[in-house]
Every structure is written in C-alpha cells, then in structure tokens.
Amino acid sequence: MIRLFGPLSVEDGERKLGPRDLGGTRPKQVLEILLTARGHRVPTDRLIELLWGREPPGDPTGSLQTFVSVLRRHLTPERERARELVVTEPEAYRFATELVALDLDRFDQLLEGSAREPTRLARASLEQALGLVRGEVFEDEPYAAWALDLRGSYQGRILGAHLEAAEAALAELDFAAALAHAEAAAALDRFSERAHRTEMLALYALDRPHEALGRYRSFRMRLDEELGLEPTAETRALEAAVIRQEDVHSLLPRPIRRAQADPGERAFRLFGRIAELEALKQAVRNAIGGGVALIQIEGETGLGKTRLIDELSAELEDVRVGRASCSELERHLPYVPLAAALRDALTGVDLGAAPLPALSQILPELALVEAKHEFDELDVLEALVALIVKHAPLVLLLDDLQWADPRTLAALEYLRRRGGDVSAALVTAARATDVSPEHPLRRLKPDALVALEPLSPDELAPLGIPGLYESTGGNPRFVTETLANGRSAALSPTLTEALLAQCRGEGTWGYRVLVAASVLGQPFEPEPLADLLGTDAAELTEELERLCERRILRIEGLRFRFRYDLVRQVLLASISPARQRLLHQRLAALAAESSPFSITQTTSSMTG
C-alpha cells in the first residue's frame, strides 16, 4: 500500500518507508510526481521542469537518471521488482500503479460506489473512505506545484464525503455522527452553506436548538461581513423551522433503501411519463446508430426531468454512459460538468495514452503528463471529438444545464453541428424558464426536445383522490409527495418547507407579495393587492409578471392566480392567525371605501 494522504508512506509487508527513507529529497519527489500521474507516463522534460523549474543543473537528464536509480534501490531490494515499479520508457518514466494498492484509488472507488448504494451501505463506504484520510495529500510537500493541484482536488472530495456521510447519518438518526461530519466539513470550508445547514439540523435533532440558532447567526454574520451575502432560502427556511420548533423528523433526509425489481413500482415512479421515456430512448438509439444528437428535456422544477434521466440511464446497455449535474457554484469554471460526465463514461480508460494534448483543457489532470500549454478552442473541441470517436458509442447525460458554464454549452453545440463520424447522444435537462433571453442556453439548437408539462386531470383520475389536481396542479413532484403522505391531499412538512424555501428564494419583496396574494381569492386583480401592500399598482404588476415568468403565478385574463394552489395553501398556512385577522380587517376596510371589484375580492378571500 502506498499512502499519499498525510506524509508519503510505502508499506510492503513488514517493511515501511517514510519520506526520509527513499534516498533523499529529489528521489522522493520523483516518486511523488510519478504517483501524481496515476500510472501515466511522465516525459523526462516534464520531470526536469517540475523538479528544478527554470534553473536546472548542468546535466539534468543525468541527475534525473541518478535519482531514479537511487529511488529504485530504496523502494525494494529486489532489482527486477524495482524496475517493474519504476518503468523506463522512451524519454519518459512511469510508475506502475496497477501493481500496487494506492490509498487515493481506494478512496475514489469507495466514494464512487457510495453514490450507487442504499443509505446504510453508502454510509459504511463513506466512513471507510474517510478512514483513509490521515492528512492532506503530500503533506510533506506543502508548496510543490505537482502537489497543489492534486491536494486541492482531494480537499473538495473529502469535503463532499463528509457532507454525504453527515446526511446519511441524519437519515439513520445517528445525530452525533452527523454533527461530527458536518463540523469536519465546515472546518474544511468556512463558507460551505450545506455544511453549516447540516450542523444546524444535527444540533436541533440532538435537542440543542439554541446552539443550532447560534451557529446560524454566526454563519450569517460571516457571510455578510466577509462576502456581502446572506444565507440561501433553504438555510433560512431551516432557521424558521427551528424557531417554530417543528418536528425534527419532518426535516430529516429519507434513507434510501435497495430498490426492488417491482414493475408496478417503476410504473408508479414514471406515472404519466412513459411516452416521454420511450421518445428519449428512441432518440438515443437513433443517435448512437450514426451521427450525433443533442436531446434536451425541458420543464420547470418538479416535472420529472431528473427522474427521466435516472430511468434512461438504467435502461441503456452496451454503451458507455457518463452522467453529471451542473452546479450554480461552478458555472465560472470551464468544462466542469462535461469533464465529470466524460470521466464517468470512460472509467478504467487510460486517457493519458491518447495523443490528444489539447484535451487537458477539459480534463486538467492530463496536464500532469505534459507541460501546460494554452490551446486554441477549436483544437480543444476537435480533441474532444477524437476522444468520443475512439470510445463510441457514447451517451453523456447532463442535468441542470441552466447552470452550465459557457464553454460546456459551446462544446455541446459544436458536437451537435460537427456530427459526421461521431456516434454519441448528448442528453441534457434544463429549466429553460429560469434563464434570461440572453443566456447561451437559449441559443442551443437541440435535435430533439422533450418538453414536460404538468399531468392533466384525466391522467390523475385513475388515482382516485378528490381534489388532487386542484391542489397539485398536476406537478408530479407534488403528486408524489401527496401520495407518500398517506394518499390524501394533505401537505407533508417536507413539501411545506421546500415550497416556502422556493418562495423565499424570490427575494424579500417577492416573498412579501406572494404571502399577501395568498390571502386574496383566486384569481385576483393587482389593485386590491397593491392597496393591501401600500404600493403602486403599476410597479406591483411588473413584479407579478416576473413571478409569472418564474412559474409561481400565472396570468388569467386581466387577473393573476397561483400556478399551483398547493403553493398558495402553504403560504397561507405560514401566516399566523393574528396576522391573518389583521390582513382580513384591512381588506374589509379597503373594500368598504373602494370599488366593487375589491369587495368581491375581499369577500372571496375571507370565505375561502
């Protein structure tokens, strides 16, 4: 076992070598650089550059050969074994990582495996992975260039592992372990909102609500003072839930259990979406049969985009499939989701063996093999084409494309237009309504578009639940939550918090407008709402139209109404009885001194 977490360590049975047991600093650094390449060849010129920078010795190649010889002697007393491990290639060296156990490889395997396991097994895998972490990668080389990139990469992975382990522990009601992992994650990243939110939830579950609120206030102050930001709607919603002393079990993540091969269960999961899945499968088959196709799934939140991708991925056979989700926090980083999907699809492939140096612009780990260069964007895209052609047929699945970086979007469009001998399907999912008209996503021209709409009353009728369409608006997410809550139209606490967080995400003014609108009868005109809020009706109408664009409200003639009555119910229930009474009194007073339409609105709101 070779351990790169913490100080370098080589363990061979009873024999253990540390950083000082490899024949000196330079031989140790040669080993570390070769290990960083993870089995790929490293040219001698690159090794010389990394070891000495711009000031190499008189005979750098000879010095390097000496360091390699010293390293081999110290690694193992068996000469042949030493040459098998540190391999000499034409003008390059390579460490045969396939012959040894590497802690980083084991960490990666456990982390990737946990994503496909039920909660109990996933948690065990995450704990085992974190047990390998003895410190930072290459702790004995804090400033070396080859160590910095790899160290930064694994800092992010360790952070993610702690966060996933914390959520798994919460799902299994092990609140002390969840708190420990959340605190470890917060120590790694002081501004990780997910880490601090998980801390709050774990403390609340441990019956320490005052500490939970104290952590929230400290984090909010740090964000404000150092970044000029405020916590997200999701975090503010959790604070509100703690203040209201809601049942903690309604806030906890649900454990994932191993799926059973039940055709009826699958049919329920895809309720109303069978035709869309078949359309997707046919489009993918057409693409991988020859040419390339960009297939886009569009729809607002909760309409089943991610579920369709899940089912499509599970049914694809005899084809390489790579999947990734775009992140709003990474949209300034080029090619991140595309690179993640490629790594997933090409697991086990030695990408360094392909003579495509420009590919390092998309997969930065390949820059360890060659000296870093800046490549023309066209060269980068053609290297991507060559990679896909070599490993075709290939299917890449990208979720939340509205958060993709511009270069990923440009690469998708280039692949679509390039076509030719590329045998690949690019399946994306996006909330197109969430982006501005100038957003690059609007300029993508998919070959096939699967537009998801809410389920119709006729599609919901077989479920036999009165008022289901009226309360959910046919949104599959709301339908699923309602059915999971005992096959009634009652609201679940989990869904309530999610909807409130979504509404708070519209900002202070937007949220205030939505809360006040929930008191009015539906549909409503802007004038009584403007009177209630004490604002200009024209300015308010602009905000109402914006909320329509955000798919929370919709226009009905000259009036507005909530797109989903479930959202209105949640907002109305969030208003205290005392405040509701005051609002009703103000509406009644306004109706008494205003035009007849206000009287109608007030009456319907007070009786609704």
C-alpha span between 52 and 60 (Å, rounded): 9
Over the stretch 325-339, which tens digit does the pLDDT of each residue have?
A: 887 767 778 888 898
Count CB atoms within 10 A of the CB of residue 169. Answer: 25
Q: Is residue 360 part of a domain?
A: yes
Looking at the structure, tell me whether residues 497 and 558 fall in a common domain.
Answer: yes
Over the stretch 52-84, which tens digit does the pLDDT of each residue have?
A: 988 888 899 999 999 999 999 999 989 999 999
pLDDT band for 268, please (50, 70, 90 cuts): very low
Q: What DSSP element (H or E) covers 594?
A: none
Over the stretch 509-564, which tens digit does the pLDDT of each residue have?
A: 888 999 999 999 889 999 989 988 888 999 999 999 989 988 889 899 999 999 88
Asked whether the predicted pLDDT for residue 265 surpasses 50, the reply is no
Average pLDDT over residues 286-308: 83
Q: What is the DSSP letter of 225?
A: I
Asked whether the predicted pLDDT for residue 600 surpasses 50, the reply is no
Q: Are 127 and 172 in contact (CB under 8 A)?
A: no
Most confident region among 176-190, 257-271, 285-299, 308-322 by mean pLDDT: 176-190
Looking at the structure, tell me whether residues 130 and 177 fall in a common domain.
Answer: yes
For residue 435, the model assigns a pLDDT of: 67
pLDDT band for 372, please (50, 70, 90 cuts): low
Looking at the structure, tell me whether residues 188 and 297 fall in a common domain.
Answer: no
Q: Are 309 and 396 in contact (CB under 8 A)?
A: no
Q: Is residue 300 part of a domain?
A: yes
Looking at the structure, tell me whether residues 115 and 77 fall in a common domain.
Answer: no
Looking at the structure, tell me whether residues 210 and 351 fall in a common domain.
Answer: no
C-alpha span between 405 and 326 (Å, rounded): 8
Looking at the structure, tell me whether residues 239 and 287 fall in a common domain.
Answer: no
The pTM assigned to this predicted structure is 0.55
pLDDT band for 25, please (50, 70, 90 cuts): very high
561, β-bridge pairs? 554
Least confident window among 81-90, 128-137, 198-207, 343-352 = 343-352
Asked whether the predicted pLDDT for residue 128 surpasses 80, the reply is yes
Show the domain range for 537: 491-607
> If we measure between CA atoms, which residue out of 164, 156, 157, 155 comes closest to residue 127?
164
For residue 408, CA distances in Å to 171, 339, 402 come to 35, 9, 11
Q: Is residue 214 part of a domain?
A: yes
* CATH number, domain with residue 245: 1.25.40.10
Number of residues in the chain: 608
Looking at the structure, tell me whether residues 64 and 133 fall in a common domain.
Answer: no
Q: Is residue 469 part of a domain?
A: no
Domain boundary among 36, 64, 99: 99
Percent of the chain clearing pLDDT 70 (strictly above): 89
Number of domains in the chain: 4
Over the stretch 410-447, which tens digit does the pLDDT of each residue have?
A: 999 998 888 767 788 899 998 876 667 777 878 888 88
C-alpha span between 222 and 199 (Å, rounded): 16
Per DSSP bridges, beta strands 394-399 and 424-430 are: parallel
* Residue found under tokens 């509406």: 587
What lies within 8 Å, CB to CB, of 553 at 6+ separation is 517, 544, 547, 560, 561, 562, 563
Q: Cis omega (within 30 of 0) on the bond before 577?
A: no
What share of residues in the chain are helix, strand, coil (percent, to 5)? 60, 10, 30
Looking at the structure, tell me whether residues 245 and 354 fall in a common domain.
Answer: no
Average pLDDT over residues 588-605: 55
- φ, ψ (nearest 5 deg) of residue 605: -70, -35
**Helices 406-418 and 336-345, axial angle in degrees (round to 10):** 60
Average pLDDT over residues 250-263: 62
Q: Is residue 468 part of a domain?
A: no
* CATH number, domain with residue 312: 3.40.50.300
What lies within 8 Å, CB to CB, of 162 at 6+ separation is 130, 181, 182, 184, 185, 188, 195
What lies within 8 Å, CB to CB, of 446 at 6+ separation is 294, 295, 296, 416, 428
What lies within 8 Å, CB to CB, of 249 at 6+ separation is none
Looking at the structure, tell me whether residues 214 and 178 fall in a common domain.
Answer: yes
C-alpha span between 196 and 202 (Å, rounded): 10
Structure tokens belonging to residue 478: 């709301």
For residue 555, the model assigns a pLDDT of: 92
For residue 594, the model assigns a pLDDT of: 61
- φ, ψ (nearest 5 deg) of residue 447: -75, -30
For residue 261, the model assigns a pLDDT of: 42
Asked whether the predicted pLDDT for residue 589 surpasses 50, the reply is yes
> If we measure between CA atoms, which residue out of 308, 301, 319 comes closest to residue 275?
308
Q: What is the DSSP letter of 151?
A: H
C-alpha span between 124 and 117 (Å, rounded): 10
pLDDT band for 213, please (50, 70, 90 cuts): very high
Average pLDDT over residues 486-506: 67
User: Using CB atoms within 10 A of its CB, is residue 6 exposed (0-12), middle (13-18) or buried (19+)?
Assistant: middle
* CATH number, domain with residue 16: 1.10.10.10
Handedness of CA 563, 566, 572, 574 (dihedral sign): negative
pLDDT band for 359, please (50, 70, 90 cuts): confident
* CATH number, domain with residue 531: 1.10.10
Q: Is residue 24 part of a domain?
A: yes
For residue 283, the model assigns a pLDDT of: 86
Q: Cis omega (within 30 of 0) on the bond before 77?
A: no
For residue 492, the model assigns a pLDDT of: 59
C-alpha span between 338 and 388 (Å, rounded): 12
Q: Is residue 341 part of a domain?
A: yes
Looking at the structure, tell me whether residues 382 and 427 fall in a common domain.
Answer: yes
* Residue found under tokens 């690694």: 75
For residue 480, the model assigns a pLDDT of: 72
Q: Is residue 210 part of a domain?
A: yes
Looking at the structure, tell me whether residues 293 and 347 fall in a common domain.
Answer: yes
Looking at the structure, tell me whether residues 301 and 405 fall in a common domain.
Answer: yes
pLDDT band for 353, please (50, 70, 90 cuts): low
